[in-house]
Structure 1
């Protein structure tokens, strides 16, 4: 696939995430897909989960069930860029939401999507982990 097609596929995948339609979301990932976030990030800690999801089913479960346990209302994404080169697509965004504990959440993210055979095979997620911990757990 071309860089432009890969960029459009990742945009479509993002749109699918908000539907919470597990079957639709699953169509964007390889069966053995991985999603890696920084170890000890606030979301993984608060949910008692992992920072390294392995397999399409684990990723889909997070996006359709666990995500909304953490980010319960007012989820808004401000995309600042979708950049593609071959099978790699980089997404810059700011996410805002209301957390399950009632706190406001706002953090900047960078996601690197690697595609294989026209599907998302790996996602590497980067964010300000210290800021995330303050919003989720309060000041240390």
Structure 2
């Protein structure tokens, strides 16, 4: 079992890899049975995904970013046992000229040194306005 400090490093590394837009590398950070949950009620975005489903979601959304990636920057983290809570911000310029800047709270759970589950809480109105409105 990883220490809380090691888990914070793993969560921060996830943000770094996520920010590259490399879907295969992002998925490689996840446990084979991982789940990824996105808050809200936005069709095509919110809900629970397995690794394959998350890959499909990310593959679609990264295509709308000007540089192919959403930059996620952790701003604070706290860990206890196998869980890490992270506050973060994001930035991406879309090909249509809109700018996506959101604030997040992520809850990571680790198993076997990999990410077993992620819960992503964000400003869903902002996400809807930028991607769907």
Name the TM-score class by shorter chain.
0.7 to 0.9
Question: Which stretches of structure 1, 4 residues or more, deviate above 4 A after TM superposition?
Answer: none
Q: Deviations over 1:56-81 (max 9, x none)?
A: 22223433x12312333384333211
Distance 1:5 1:77 in 2: 19
TM-score (norm 1): 0.77
* Residue 66 in structure 1 maps to residue 67 in structure 2: no
Distance 2:70 2:31 in 1: 26
> Equivalent residue for 1:98?
93
CA RMSD of aligned residues (A): 2.3
Q: Name the SS of the counterpart of 2:5 in structure 1.
A: helix
Higher helix share: 1
* Residue 27 in structure 1 maps to residue 28 in structure 2: yes
- Note closer, same or farther for the CA distance 1:105–1:26 as it changes in structure 2 (3 Å cut): closer
Superposition map of 1:51-130 within 5 A = 51-63=46-58, 65-73=59-67, 75-130=70-125
TM-score (norm 2): 0.80
Distance 1:11 1:50 in 2: 23
Distance 2:32 2:90 in 1: 27
User: Any unmatched runs of 5+ in structure 1?
Assistant: none
Distance 1:27 1:75 in 2: 18
Distance 1:10 1:97 in 2: 20
